[in-house]
Amino acid sequence: MFDGLREKLGKFSSDVEEDVEAEPETDLDEESDNSELAGDAPVEPETDDGPSAGEQPKTDSEEDEASTERADEQSGEDDRGIAERAKLLATGKTVIDEDDLTEHLDELELALLSSDVEMSVAGEILENVEANLVGETRRRLESTGNLAQDALREALYEVISVGQFDFEARVAEADKPVVIVFTGVNGVGKTTTIAKLARYFEERGYSSVLANGDTYRAGANEQLGEHAEALSVPYISHEQGGDPAAVLYDAVEYAEANDVDVVLGDTAGRLHTSEGLMDQLSKIDRVVDPDMTLFVDEAVAGQDAVTRATEFDDAAEIDGTILTKADTDPQGGAAISIAHVTGKPILFLGTGQGYDHLERFDPEEVVDQLTLGE
């Protein structure tokens, strides 16, 4: 994942770092030495016929003081500039000229947009990178010693880590059964993701029941039912065309009666433009009042996934996102953008078809993968 974007981000870091290294290490010392010489150098006396009437001739010490003041005024601005640069170096900040940085930022913006990063998110990253390079930086991640790389890592972390919460702790602390409803469009792997979550919970000591709220699609009952049988977990369904909210309600009733820990409810895959189906999703939200609603989409969908996540969040507020096919996504634009745009975190990545191919989304690991290749 992220192979294409990683290469582009690496080029940005190396190009900026080359500009940093191009600053000669002796520049400050040489300029400081020249400044000192300027302050000590003798100043040619003014040529006039002597003091005017009533003016006392200046003593040697007064002449020296006046000469020093004039030299200080001439080199004052240079001294202040040198002092500022020295201060930046002493505090570990960059001395890259902002004019030079602009060209690199333009190239970075193009790299982000061509990798399906949403426009406003790309803008946020650029602002953060610039602030990290030329201003104060609050380090969250361990420094690599590469100014540009560290600035980029911090900027990416800012947008990727939005809204993160401890998923397992929330499940553990919630009253049982914990009800989790899954939304998303057709064909993105939502049903398979539900089965993966059932295995995920089983490995952590939680029982679960699957509920098919996708009553519109022919074959939906059979598909989820096959997963339930393979995982040996109970399964609740109604006839095709039934009320999805009623199916999920029955699943909650079953869980309460049989001490089941988690209800995993599927819903009809729908386009975010399907007004009737989106209204049905809102009804499920009202009737069942789930503990979490998770949006599922493909990582490879890029900006389309970002748009859909926003629309689904408007219909029935989502708590987080699961991105499928992350192992086949060379760009990573959706993974970078969705959390920032919706304000809700990415919680899991689907990395294959097997029930065990589900990974917790760790923002710091993703940032390291993008910028360090780890």
- What are the structural domain ranges in the chain? 3-43+58-160, 167-371
| DSSP strand pairing (292-298 vs 262-267) | unpaired
Query: SS3 of 128, please?
Result: helix
Type of residue numbered 93: K
Question: Six-digit token pair at 73?
Answer: 């005024």
* pLDDT band (50, 70, 90) for residue 321: very high
For position 348, what pLDDT does the model report?
A: 96
- The closest alpha carbon to 122, from 8, 275, 292, belongs to 8
Measured CA to CA, the distance from residue 327 to residue 300 in angstroms comes to 9
For position 290, what pLDDT does the model report?
A: 92
- The closest alpha carbon to 265, from 287, 116, 125, 106, belongs to 287
For position 139, what pLDDT does the model report?
A: 58
Q: What is the mean pLDDT of residues 27-56?
A: 49
* pLDDT band (50, 70, 90) for residue 286: confident
pLDDT tens for 90-116 read 444 444 666 667 788 888 888 888 888
Pair 363, 164: CB distance under 8 Å = yes
Lowest mean per-residue pLDDT among 9-18, 49-58, 149-158, 334-343: 49-58
Measured CA to CA, the distance from residue 193 to residue 326 in angstroms comes to 13
pLDDT tens for 164-214 read 999 999 999 999 999 999 988 888 889 999 999 999 999 999 999 999 988
For position 272, what pLDDT does the model report?
A: 47
Question: Six-digit token pair at 293?
Answer: 């609603």
For position 69, what pLDDT does the model report?
A: 59
For position 39, what pLDDT does the model report?
A: 46
* pLDDT band (50, 70, 90) for residue 80: very low
Task: List helix spans (H) across the chain.
Answer: 3-21, 27-40, 60-90, 98-113, 119-134, 147-160, 167-173, 190-203, 220-231, 244-257, 275-288, 303-315, 333-342, 363-371
Q: What is the mean pLDDT of residues 275-296?
A: 83
Instruction: State yes or no: pLDDT of 331 exceeds 70.
Output: yes
For position 195, what pLDDT does the model report?
A: 95
Question: Six-digit token pair at 243?
Answer: 């009320």
Measured CA to CA, the distance from residue 182 to residue 194 in angstroms comes to 8
For position 267, what pLDDT does the model report?
A: 85
User: Nearest 5 degrees, angle CA 197-CA 348-CA 333?
Assistant: 145
pLDDT tens for 124-168 read 999 888 887 775 555 566 555 577 788 888 889 999 998 999 999
Instruction: Give 200-241 as a DSSP string.
Output: HHHHTT--EEEEEE--SSTTHHHHHHHHHHHHT--EE---TT
CATH T-level topology, domain 167-371: Rossmann fold (3.40.50)
Lowest mean per-residue pLDDT among 41-45, 70-74, 188-192: 41-45
The H-or-E segment that residue 181 falls in is strand 178-183
For position 334, what pLDDT does the model report?
A: 83
Choose from 140-149, 257-266, 332-341 the range with maximum mean pLDDT.
Answer: 257-266
